[in-house]
Structure 1
Amino acid sequence: MEEKKVDVAIIGSGSAGLYALGKVKPSGKSFVLINGGEQGTTCARVGCMPSKALIQAAEDFHRCKILGRYGVEGHKALTLDTEEAIGHVQDLRDTFVDRVISNSTAHMSDEVFIEGYAKFVEPNLLDVDGLRIRAEKIIIATGSRPVMPKPWAAFGDRILTTDQLFEEEDLPESLAVIGLGVIGLEIGQSLARLGVDVTGFDMLETIGGLDDPEVAKAAIDIIGKDFPLYLGHGAEITEEDDKLRVTAGDKSVLVEKVLASLGRRPNLDNLQLENAGIELGENGMPAYNPQTMQIGNSAIFLAGDVNGDRPLLHEAGDEGRIAGFNATSDKIQAFQRKPPIAINFVDPNICHVGKRWSELDQETTVTGEVNLAPVGRALIMGKNKGIIRVYADKASGKLLGSEMICTKGENLAHLLAWCIQQDLTVGELLQMPFYHPVIEEALQAALYDLYGKVDQKNSSPITELRTVQ
């Protein structure tokens, strides 16, 4: 059988695959980019971008309800055309997908962009629907798909995942969201604000991946005002007339549809990795180095959502670049990964930066916090709910991490991530400028609280300006 020979084969044209291509293409190495299924990244098609379009529509409509405080009359009579709203989201989604494709695979020849599903025949040999491709290095960037329990398939299109949600022509009257992580919370709150009768379920006692007990408590209280949250029990689904009954513990609701938001599963099943001599661990993943993206000592690299480690676009970008660099280099190079940052775009934002609460040594770590209730800018905005918690090493005063639920958390999280990457201390952060009145003043207050608990102080009072030498 004829074989096509290349230096590098990239499997998957999503974010990680395209970023890997960005390193492979200018290297002068021969390559192919292989993609099975829909083109366009997970972010553009079913993830970050359509969900943010939905969130924006929901937030704008929700804010109309408070116009009465400014003397606006008739705001209570405002209605929403849900078909028009979901159509707007789909139009934006299509725009984002088209942009991705037009800037990537649209102009690639059939010689280098191959559509079809790849599987391993040997460690360096792939089969793509009958076409054999022999590659010296192979990058797996096949992404992930939503988890769907097999028994739920019997309920047909009444069970939605994010892969189907943004294809709906209209919104259901009622919806149960099972799984209250990032996607479940964002979609649940948005649809509730657009008029859907939403009920949330999660077998954990927390939501949004929070493990700081104070932030988790605040989040449950705040988000629970948009739609009821039933926590601590696994959910079961049964059919009742033409609807679905969702039961968890002693709670039960009858709904038109269910959103299964149970996480995502790496797309490794059909690659036949055993033919490449790659063993999968108990978690269904091969052992790989997150600083090189190399699987063991093989010529195969793993990048993006497919590794299940940090399923975020900016992380997929970094991992794609690392994999692409190492796949085109004579020597494997390890790279320092950036501080973790995760943002849940519910209102108010839920954010995690750096070390999580569960990762901290409580004997050597101190915590500072501020409640958003008295913060002037937040009060003016009508968004003075939430809490910011920041963590530092007690002895050195070095900032370690943060969890928060607060308005404009998406901005504060970036500031803190940048500071953690620079190994700054709490005292050094407080010597930076803070404008008035801004939400950053809330962060300043949390840092002041934290500064009073660390041992390492600045050489001069933090309220004093630095002298000029």
Structure 2
Amino acid sequence: MQQLQTKVAIIGAGSAGLSAWHAARKHTDDVVLIEEGPYGTTCARVGCMPSKLLIAAANTAHSARNAAMFGVAVNEVAVDGQAVMARVKRERDRFVDNVLSSMKSIPESHRLQGHARFIDPHTLAIGDHTQLTANAIIIATGSRPTWPRLLEGAGNRLIINDDVFDWETLPGSVAVVGPGVIGMELGQALSRLGVRTRTFGVGGAVGPFQSDKLRQLADETFNRELYLDPDATIEQVEQQGDGVAITFYERESRQKTTELFDYVLAATGRKPNVDQLGIEKAGVALDARGVPRFNRFTTQCLAQDNTPSHIFIAGDANQSVPLLHEAITEGKIAGRNAACLDDVQMGQRNVALAVVFTEPQMAIVGESRAALEARYGGCDCIAEGGVSFDDQGRARVMGENHGYLALYAEHGSGRFLGAEMLGPRAEHIAHLLAWALEQTLTVSQMLTMPFYHPVVEEGVRSGLRDLQASLKQGAGIAERCMECGPGD
């Protein structure tokens, strides 16, 4: 076994790991990047990009079927499953190739292939061929799908989102378990492409929403075109030949029924890939999930005595905000700080921004009202306003007039605090609102911004006016809410 030393070792060559590599190299040439699996990042290979390719095909088919609304006759909509999947894989491979091309900027002498595990806080074993000692170590190992034991009854008909993008053609039917981001995006896309789908959840959640109003509205809206039961009772999952039988209670009738599907797609959550690193030998403090405790502004892990460690964690491995742009940000912070251990600095973290690419789209900017109330200690300092898109001008023109935008602000100061949205063009509206939140604008300041006509963004103005009307003003109100204040 060869013995190597380095200043910075990065475990994982995904989005966070690559970002960390480039940041660290600005301060030192002594950096080693370790990867166990194929290069290419989760986003490019099995995540963001291939899923959006599938969604684009699905939305095209859906638009064609609904063209009669605009007086456009489409005689037949035929979905060629092989052609759909061929384009998905062809374009997916282009995105992966772009990532692989960027890997060429990293010299082979600075790359190690194999599974990494801790021998002690400063030493890693890489496969059975290398022992690497590092001054600083960055954990950027990503995460993997998990599912309840009940679904294992599906045998080899149980799949995850990764498997979808290996299909040669579309199946006849899929049961989706988990109406979160992945489940809702893929479930709706498959349904629009002609795949018989049913989507099951537990507890009533739909997408990322915490608002009861938006959860209910999303439930009602999506059920107009597909079967969604966010609080389902599944009694049995059993493989039968080349399919899987699911016994469940129908949403409306509550009658027990058994239905056969080609596959069961598990979209029930993800687990950080830290449990196979020998993390117990890293000398870091772990939370109840076995994930290292860390400072989100430095990405620096805490040692077991609660002092700052030489180990950093970035991206999906820490399960803080499992989104691509957050992984890249955390990688930059971790790479810089690991290369400059004597001068660890706080990195800039942006406001929370999440988008789900269903139709209507779902988005959250900042925190939900429930989270805000918890941060303000439960006092009545949060104002809420909103707007329905059912009669919004541009939304009606496009035939996409469904949804609601909930907006939150602080009484007294009028400071904008966040939003939850189900509706058309939410991906763009969410960015505008995130920029306003990042700039700590007040509702009054936001209302001074230009709004063109006719655009969906005019709905934002209507919502802001409603929010403004609900704000309580006055020095006493402001002083009280400042005393309560949002927590850390």
If the length of structure 2 is used for normalisation, what is the TM-score?
0.90
Distance 1:58 1:141 in 2: 33
Q: Is the 8 A contact 1:83 1:170 kept in 2?
A: yes
Residue 377 (structure 2) pairs with residue 377 (structure 1): no
| Unpaired segments ≥5 residues, structure 1 | 458-469
| Secondary structure of 1:452's aligned partner | helix
Query: Which runs of 5 or more structure 2 residues have no equivalent in the other structure?
Result: 303-307, 374-378, 475-488
Structure 2: distance between partners of 1:148 and 1:231: 16
What SS class does the counterpart of residue 197 from structure 2 fall into? strand
Which residue is 2:266 aligned to? 260
SS in 1 for 2:109: coil
CA positional deviation for 1:360: 2.5
Q: Per-residue CA shift, 1:363-393, capped at 9, x if unaligned?
A: 1111111110111100010000101110011
What is the identity, as a one-letter code, of the residue corresponding to 1:117?
H
The residue aligned with 2:45 is 45
| Residue in structure 1 matched with residue 482 of structure 2 by the alignment | none
Q: CA RMSD in A?
A: 1.6
1:140 maps to a residue whose letter is: I
- Cα shift at 1:284: 2.0
* Secondary structure at 2:26 match in 1: helix
Do structure 1's residue 432 and structure 2's residue 461 form an aligned pair? no
Instruction: Please tell me whether the aligned partners of residues 40 and 97 of structure 1 are also in contact (alpha carbons under 8 angstroms).
Output: yes
**Aligned position for 2:438:** 421
The answer for the alignment partner of 2:120 in structure 1 is 122
Q: Specify whether residues 365 and 415 from structure 1 end up closer, same or farther in structure 2 by C-alpha distance, changes over 3 A only.
A: same
The CA distance in 2 between the partners of 1:441 and 1:247, in whole Å, is: 46
Shift of 1:71: 3.7
Q: 1:322 to 1:107 in 2, by over 3 A?
A: closer
Deviation at residue 151 of structure 1 after TM alignment = 5.9
Give the percent of matched residue pairs that are identical in Structure 1 and Structure 2: 40
**Which residue, 295, 306, 329 being the options, matches 2:317?**
306
Give 2:33's aligned residue: 33
| More off after superposition, 63-72 vs 286-295 | 63-72
1:327 aligns with 2:338: yes
Contact 1:238 1:245 in 2 (8 A): yes
Q: Counterpart of 1:216? A: 215
Contact 1:120 1:271 in 2 (8 A): yes
Q: Relative to 1, partners in 2 of residues 1:26 and 1:177: Cα closer, same or farther, differing over 3 Å?
A: same
Task: Give the drift of 1:156.
Answer: 3.6
Rounded to whole Å, the distance in 2 between the matches of 1:102 and 1:377 is 42
Distance 1:256 1:425 in 2: 52
**1:29–1:328 Cα contact (<8 Å) kept:** no
Conserved in 1, the CA contact under 8 Å of 2:157 and 2:239?
no
Partners of 2:157 and 2:264 within 8 A in 1: yes
Change (3 A) 1:299 1:429: same
C-alpha separation between the residues in 2 aligned to 1:241 and 1:111?
Answer: 49
Q: Deviations over 1:274-319 (max 9, x none)?
A: 2222343221211111111111021110000011110100000110
Counterpart Cα distance in 1 of 2:459 and 2:216? 19
Partner of 1:182: 181
Q: Is 2:99 the partner of 1:100?
A: yes
Letter in 1 for 2:261: V
Picking from 392, 397, 401, the partner of 2:418 is: 401
CA deviations over 1:131-153 (Å, ceiling 9, x no partner): 01111000010111111345644
**Superposed displacement of residue 332, structure 1:** 1.6
- 1:228-284 superposed Cα distances (whole Å, 9 cap, x missing partner): 111224534123454322234445432111100011111112210122223432212
Partner of 2:110 in structure 1?
112
Query: Which residue of structure 1 lines up, in the alignment, with residue 405 of structure 2?
Result: 388
C-alpha distance in 2, partners of 1:228/1:155? 20
For residues 234 and 26 of structure 1, the distance between their equivalents in structure 2, rounded to whole angstroms, comes to: 53
Partners of 1:349 and 1:407 within 8 A in 2:
yes
Distance 2:2 2:98 in 1: 35
1:275 equivalent in alignment to 2:294: no
User: Aligned in 2, Cα 1:121/1:254: closer, same or farther, shift over 3 Å?
Assistant: same
In structure 1, the partner of 2:224 is 225
Match of 2:485 in 1: none
1:461 aligned residue:
none
Deviation of the 1:416 alpha carbon: 0.6
What amino acid does structure 2 have at the position aligned with 1:262? T
Q: Which amino acid aligns with 1:440?
A: E
Matched, 1:287 2:298: no
- Change in 2 beyond 3 A, CA 1:241/1:29: closer
Quote the residue 2:81 is aligned against. Answer: 82
Of 340, 346, 351, 2:352 maps to 340
Query: In structure 1, what is the Cα distance between the partners aligned to 2:54 and 2:39?
Result: 22
Per the alignment, residue 206 of structure 2 pairs with 207
- Is the contact made by 2:150 and 2:237 (CA closer than 8 Å) also made in structure 1? no
CA contact (8 A) 1:146 1:163 kept: no
Residues paired across the two proteins, number: 455
Q: Which amino acid aligns with 1:295?
A: C
Shift of 1:155: 3.2
Q: Is the 8 A contact 2:275 2:290 kept in 1?
A: no
Q: Distance in 2 between the 1:219 and 1:152 partners?
A: 25
Q: Summarize deviations over 1:106-159 as a string: whole Å, max 9, x none.
A: 343331011111111111111111201111000010111111345644534311
